[in-house]
Structure 1
């Protein structure tokens, strides 16, 4: 008697179909054992194929009284109203959360250009219709809600479209997370939040095959941080103007350096430039040379 063979597929049905094709059998002629139903993973990451073991049924065995029915995979969980995501019983610690998302996303982060940092206008894109904006907001909110839920947090996603402002040259979709104990999603100087934003942009762009300006925030953190950086820039510029000596600020991500550059772009007494590499890149404020 032939030994059973193992076959794989995206789901149980596909694995069975592949096994029957290879062995030249139909369903009534085969004995099928489901080893694993597989897993879709998280947005396609970490997925595992379904596995089944198939062997020819013994010819002298009595035919089954009933046809074996292979149960279908369980249906996907329905979206919850208002994008409310539920937190598992075990709460994740802040440090593993930040470290996990920083490590996973950092490898995909693009190089930062000085032109983007200083606020050069972005290339114009076709404006979406109101219906397209609504669909994009729904898709992005669902993806962000799923990511946050899988990280172990309970949060509500509020999606709003905003006109261009000091930190965005184009109309953008703001996804603001509201809930309790969400500080770990911000991380040190907003690093975890920036990586979470990049991840959501990446997933949306993979679905739509075009770039969309999506901003992820937690309880209005970005607005408060922007105000703090603008005040820091003005105080530092005043110090440079009074002393005539250059001043280097602490290292910042590109989005925060951009705020410093924009705040002081038209300052009469100082100019700004960036120096350093990678995570050590920072803004220097220098006295403006008088003509």
Structure 2
């Protein structure tokens, strides 16, 4: 079948997303096109000053060999999950760490990153004891100041990126993985309360209607709050569906709708 459109240019937040959108529009698989990256785009610094990627897809003639396009874009988000083999997803080993030293390193690292972003703020760094059985202590960094919404970003993307980068730097300096959470003027605590209320309300809706409720896309740390809030609920279960960054929590009723 002859293709009416032999080339297509696509703009998207990342190269991978641009390619996926182009393939969807053309109705072709990746081995049926040649991909030229016209502009790889830029995430800027912690998402500030970012630029979209631009790619061109050219439909191949029949019989041309496939071309592999490798992914080079890193992911950012909340704290990386820890694997059972004793190594954090970042590649850092797990183990004991000096809490006082970790506090000092975290204060310096986060302070230097904020200076690079030209953000003037105050830092309060403390150790948060384990909140669950078999959990680790966490270095908690509270950022306080005026008009710090730029540090949160859409769906807390900037805050999660700052937290992830800070965690990597602190852990490399410590030589062991150090769990670290960054909050901005109590945002995470407020957001957690909102998510817990949302979880209970949507669970009630699922029970009442007998239909699964699909929540908005959330980062991993926020999905975890929903799962934990409803893990002991007698009438619903929760599960995550989709791919990052659009992964969502669904709340599924265990029984049909109640009869009114």
TM over 0.5, shorter chain: yes
Match of 1:278 in 2: 244
TM-score of the superposed pair, with normalisation by structure 2: 0.64
* Contact 1:160-1:175 within 8 A present in 2 as well: yes
Per the alignment, residue 113 of structure 2 pairs with 147
Deviations 1:83-137 (A, max 9, x none): xxxxxxxxxxxx976633878xx72548999xx59xx999695444xxx211110
| Partner of residue 193, structure 2 | 227
Indicate the SS of the match to 1:277.
coil
Secondary structure of the residue aligned to 1:278 is coil
Tell me, what secondary structure is at the counterpart of 2:217?
coil
Distance (whole Å) between structure 1 residues aligned to residue 104 and residue 156 of structure 2: 24
Aligned equivalent of 1:245, options 208, 211, 214: 211
**Separation in structure 2 between the aligned mates of residue 240 and residue 258 of structure 1, nearest angstrom:** 19
Residue 211 of structure 1 is matched in structure 2 by 177
Provide the residue aligned with 2:167 in structure 1. 201
The structural deviation recorded for 1:209 is 2.2
Other structure's SS at 1:239 match: helix
C-alpha distance after superposition, 1:228-255 (max 9, x if no partner) = 0000000000111111111100011111
Q: Distance in 2 between matches of 1:216 and 1:96?
A: 20
Report 1:255-266 matches (<5 A).
255-266=221-232
Measure the CA separation in 1 of the matches of 2:197 and 2:232: 15
| Aligned mates of 2:251, 2:234 — CA distance in 1 | 12
In the alignment, is the contact (CA less than 8 A) between 1:145 and 1:157 conserved in 2? yes
Label 1:126 to 1:206 Cα distance change in 2 as closer, same or farther (>3 A). closer
The answer to whether 1:107 aligns with 2:74 is: yes
Higher helix fraction: Structure 1 or Structure 2? 1
Aligned mates of 1:226, 1:110 — CA distance in 2: 16
Separation in 2, partners of 1:233, 1:281: 16
After superposition, the Cα gap between the structure-2 partners of 1:173 and 1:135, relative to the gap in structure 1 and judged at 3 Å, is same
TM value normalised by structure 1: 0.57
Does residue 1:188 correspond to 2:169, yes or no? no
Secondary structure in 1 aligned to 2:251?
A: strand
Is the contact made by 2:140 and 2:181 (CA closer than 8 Å) also made in structure 1?
yes
Aligned pairs for 1:1-291 (under 5 A) are 99-100=47-48, 107-109=74-76, 126-128=95-97, 132-165=98-131, 169-289=135-255
Aligned mates of 1:112, 1:144 — CA distance in 2: 15
> Separation in 1 of the partners of 2:147 and 2:114?
12
- Write the distance in 2 (CA, Å) between the matches of 1:263 and 1:121: 24
Residue aligning to 2:63: none
Relative to 1, partners in 2 of residues 1:213 and 1:192: Cα closer, same or farther, differing over 3 Å? same
Equivalent residues, number: 186
Q: Distance in 1 between matches of 2:84 and 2:135?
A: 6
Q: Deviations over 1:245-281 (max 9, x none)?
A: 1110001111111100010001001000111111111
